[in-house]
Amino acid sequence: MTSSIPKSCPECGTENRAHARACRQCGAPLIANWQDKPVLRNKVLRRTDFMAAARANQKATRRLVFMLILILVILGYLLGWSVQAMSGNFPEGVEGIWFVSRWGVLAALALFVVGVLWSWISFRIGDRIVLRMTGAHEVTPTQEPQLHNVVEEMAIAAGIRKPRVYLIETDALNAFATGMHPARSSIGVTRGLLDTLNREELQGVVGHEMGHIVNWDIRYATAVGVIVGLIALVSDGALRSLRYSGRSRSSNSRSGGGAVVIVLFLLIFAALAPIFSRLVQMAVSRQREFMADATSVRLTRHPEGLISALEKLALNAKPFKGANQATQHMFIVNPFRNFSEKASRLFATHPPLERRMARLRNLGGT
């Protein structure tokens, strides 16, 4: 008869099911002397709380990006549907306005294709544009040996090619990463950050930026920004065109009355779509910041370094030349505003620093 006695984890003491092979809390194998076996020891390094946090953030990000694509597709369909209804081009044998619009399907598909192409162009040149906008200049190992050494350590831990290293000459404390592919990436820090943080804190910050690179956050942010911009552009065009639609609308009762209902749908959706898409974009940005924090812990194995760095950044973050509304989401902390727990965070590019530090303390058990 199979035993049903719960197993206690030798590492954390958590009770697990009788047939469990690994602890549900800490991930340690439920067998004796597992630390003497390299294969099991490596698995434990990968099966930790911060990895669970990273997976949860990945799922949340995918859901949010799907919502953005859905908003874009619905906007395209409503646009095509309204144009078809206002032109009086109804399918044969269909009474009323409730029909599957061929024009709507084509418009939705067209917007989707334009979004993909626009994103691809941004992927090709986006990193170079960002570096120029921030005013960062590349530094050599001879000029900044400690910074290069820390970046190289984190690159080895992440298993990627060492990113190019840039410096922004300002006394503000901040850092950023750019690059559409881990093999073609860059990390930049400000002079103020380099002069203020100690080595452990610098490792935490660089680990955070390395997390953005290995998690493909720059590509996520670029694609999301393109979709949000396209939604805003199409919505604005649709609202402008509706001002003149009454002059050219057909006077027959079928297209006139039906078109009014469809145009009303389009009007409401076109007015709200940019707002909702912006909210989703900011939610994606906040999720990626949490994920980069968790990745920093995975790379450094030392959450206290990043916690201490964030405490200093909370006191010294400020605007500087090279930071603007277009690039604010790329920095480790927002250079224009520190979103506190009491503030309305719907449009926040970053989670509150207090909440980020609390999560890091939970990950590190401190």
Q: Please report, for residues 62, 210, 220, 282, the alpha-carbon distance to residue 336 in angstroms, rounded to integers and kept in the order given.
A: 28, 23, 22, 15
Nearest CA to 355 out of 282, 298, 293 is that of 293
Residue 26 — φ and ψ, nearest 5°? Answer: -110, -10
Residue 18 — φ and ψ, nearest 5°? Answer: -60, -35
What residues are annotated to the active site? Answer: 209
Phi-psi group of 348: left, alpha or beta (phi > 0 → left; psi -120 to 50 → alpha; rest → beta) = beta
Tens digits of per-residue pLDDT, 24-41?
544 556 766 655 666 555
pLDDT at 222 over 80: no
Beta carbons of 209 and 187 less than 8 angstroms apart: yes
The interaxial angle of helices 253-300 and 303-316, nearest 10 deg, is: 120
Beta carbons of 176 and 188 less than 8 angstroms apart: yes
Rounded Cα gap, residues 349 and 54, in angstroms:
18
Tens digits of per-residue pLDDT, 157-210?
988 899 999 999 988 899 999 887 788 889 999 999 999 999 999 999 999 999
Query: Tokens for 257?
Result: 């009355």
| CB neighbours of residue 155 within 10 Å | 21
19 vs 155, residue with greater confidence: 155
Question: Which of the given ranges, 147-151, 245-249, 283-287, 329-333, has the highest pLDDT on average?
Answer: 147-151
pLDDT at 356 over 80: yes
Over its C-alpha atoms, the chain yields an Rg (Å, rounded) of 26
Query: Tokens for 221?
Result: 């942010």
3-state secondary structure of 242: helix
Beta carbons of 339 and 348 less than 8 angstroms apart: yes
- The three-point CA angle 220-221-225 to 5° equals 120
Beta carbons of 289 and 351 less than 8 angstroms apart: yes
pLDDT at 331 over 90: no
Rounded Cα gap, residues 213 and 217, in angstroms:
6
Lowest mean pLDDT among 10-14, 138-142, 239-243: 10-14
Residue 106 host element (H or E): helix 102-134
Tens digits of per-residue pLDDT, 51-92?
555 566 566 667 777 888 888 888 888 888 887 777 777 666
| CB neighbours of residue 289 within 10 Å | 24
pLDDT at 244: 62
Beta carbons of 255 and 90 less than 8 angstroms apart: yes
Q: Please report, for residues 143, 200, 286, 343, the alpha-carbon distance to residue 309 in angstroms, rounded to integers and kept in the order given.
A: 23, 9, 18, 22
> In this structure, what DSSP letter does residue 184 have?
E
52 vs 223, residue with greater confidence: 223
pLDDT at 163: 92
Phi-psi group of 297: left, alpha or beta (phi > 0 → left; psi -120 to 50 → alpha; rest → beta) = alpha
Tens digits of per-residue pLDDT, 243-275?
665 544 444 444 555 557 777 777 888 888 888
Query: What mean pLDDT is reported for the chain?
Result: 77
